[in-house]
């Protein structure tokens, strides 16, 4: 998956020793850090960092000294000091790709009912990333792109990343499937040219709602693996379909063979909210897969960490 440098060192006895130079992985995480304000059914509020913060922190915590994590995002001037202070707690997170912009930062209000349904409202409009902001990170071992605002980067910029980088590109399609109305309320919609985005990645992640949205149809459980395999015809080598408490499906192609496997979910005793579970899943999968290249074990770990 990634290269390691080898060098030959002479011992005092004159006999050569092969030394492996284990440089830390470089992983760029592209998207938006939201400020999340979560309103639970009992009307209690929780305020936390969301969006790609879940990806970044999961990668940093799981890989420790094995990796340097590079967030690449725009942050509004009103929350820039707080965001950078939060990430500076991690010794393996590099802040060079975090850019302060004059716009008010994105805040996502999420209202839950007792059935775990939620409504989302997004305030603040930090601009999309341009290619020059991403250019220093094209030599990364992996680039994780997670659409959080939905306009985090354009298709043209995504195509430039694919054209100029040999990195493993992981795409969580996420809020690319969400529009926003005049009242700032988010709603599901089929994104234009979604296949073109998918074509640019090596590893693709969607949840069931997102897959049904891009396909424009409801799916039955017997359809899950069939549709997961079809997604691979668009270009990705690996497709992850998350199914909440039902687990996940991992589909992959090797040479001319396409395979898929259902991975059981991890029981959760008490559900509070599911915000960030998909982001944590994707980051945990990528962290494991970069180290061991084992699809099944990586999906099992992702299920466990997300739960």
pLDDT single digits (tens) 204-255: 999 999 999 999 999 999 999 999 999 999 999 999 999 999 999 999 998 8
Q: For residues 246 and 257, what is the distance between their CA atoms, to the nearest angstrom?
A: 26
Helix (H, G, I), strand (E, B) or coil at 286: helix
Q: Is the pLDDT of residue 306 over 90?
A: yes
Residue whose structure tokens are 């775990």: 116
pLDDT at 274: 84
Q: Per-residue pLDDT tens for 52-95?
A: 999 999 999 999 999 999 999 999 999 999 999 999 999 999 99
Higher pLDDT, 101 or 245: 101
Q: Per-residue pLDDT tens for 105-161?
A: 999 999 988 888 889 999 999 999 999 999 999 999 999 999 999 999 999 999 999
The set of residues, in sequence order, having a beta carbon less than 8 Å from that of 187 and lying 6+ positions away, is: 178, 179, 180, 181
Q: For residue 134, give the DSSP letter.
A: H
- The burial of 147, by beta-carbon neighbours within 10 Å (0-12 exposed, 13-18 middle, 19 or more buried), is given as buried
Residue whose structure tokens are 């009912």: 113
Q: What is the dihedral of CA 282, 284, 286, 290, to 10 degrees?
A: -170
Q: For residues 27 and 84, what is the distance between their CA atoms, to the nearest angstrom?
A: 18
Q: For residues 154 and 163, what is the distance between their CA atoms, to the nearest angstrom?
A: 14
The set of residues, in sequence order, having a beta carbon less than 8 Å from that of 166 and lying 6+ positions away, is: none
The set of residues, in sequence order, having a beta carbon less than 8 Å from that of 291 and lying 6+ positions away, is: 63, 66
pLDDT at 236: 97
**Contact predicate 212/218, CB 8 Å:** yes
Token readout for 166 is 């040999």
**Contact predicate 229/258, CB 8 Å:** yes
**Contact predicate 108/36, CB 8 Å:** yes
């Amino acid at each position: 998956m990634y290269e390691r440098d080898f060098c030959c060192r002479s011992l005092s006895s004159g006999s050569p020793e092969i030394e492996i130079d284990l440089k830390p992985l470089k992983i760029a995480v592209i998207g938006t850090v939201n400020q999340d304000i979560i309103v639970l059914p009992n009307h209690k509020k929780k305020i936390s960092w969301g969006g790609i913060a879940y990806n970044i922190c999961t990668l940093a915590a799981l890989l420790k000294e094995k990796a340097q994590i590079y967030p690449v995002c725009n942050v509004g001037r009103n929350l820039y000091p707080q965001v950078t202070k939060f990430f500076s707690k991690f010794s393996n997170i590099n802040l060079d790709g975090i850019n302060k912009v004059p716009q008010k930062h994105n805040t996502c209000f999420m209202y839950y009912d007792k059935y775990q349904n939620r409504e989302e409202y997004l305030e603040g409009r930090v601009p999309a990333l341009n290619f020059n902001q991403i250019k220093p990170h094209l030599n990364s071992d992996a680039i994780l792109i997670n659409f959080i605002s939905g306009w985090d980067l354009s298709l043209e910029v995504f195509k430039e990343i694919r054209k100029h980088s040999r990195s493993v590109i992981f795409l969580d399609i996420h809020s690319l499937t969400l529009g926003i109305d005049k009242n700032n309320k988010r709603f599901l919609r089929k994104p234009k040219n979604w296949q073109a985005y998918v074509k640019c990645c090596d590893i693709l992640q969607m949840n069931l709602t997102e897959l049904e949205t891009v396909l424009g149809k409801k799916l039955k459980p017997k359809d899950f693996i069939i549709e997961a395999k079809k997604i691979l015809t668009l270009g990705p080598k690996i497709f992850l379909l998350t199914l909440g408490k039902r687990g996940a499906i991992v589909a992959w192609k090797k040479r001319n063979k396409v395979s898929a496997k259902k991975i059981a979910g991890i029981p959760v005793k008490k559900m509070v909210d599911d915000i960030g579970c998909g982001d944590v899943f994707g980051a945990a999968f990528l962290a494991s897969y970069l180290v061991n290249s084992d699809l099944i074990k990586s999906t099992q770990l992702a299920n466990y960490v997300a739960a």
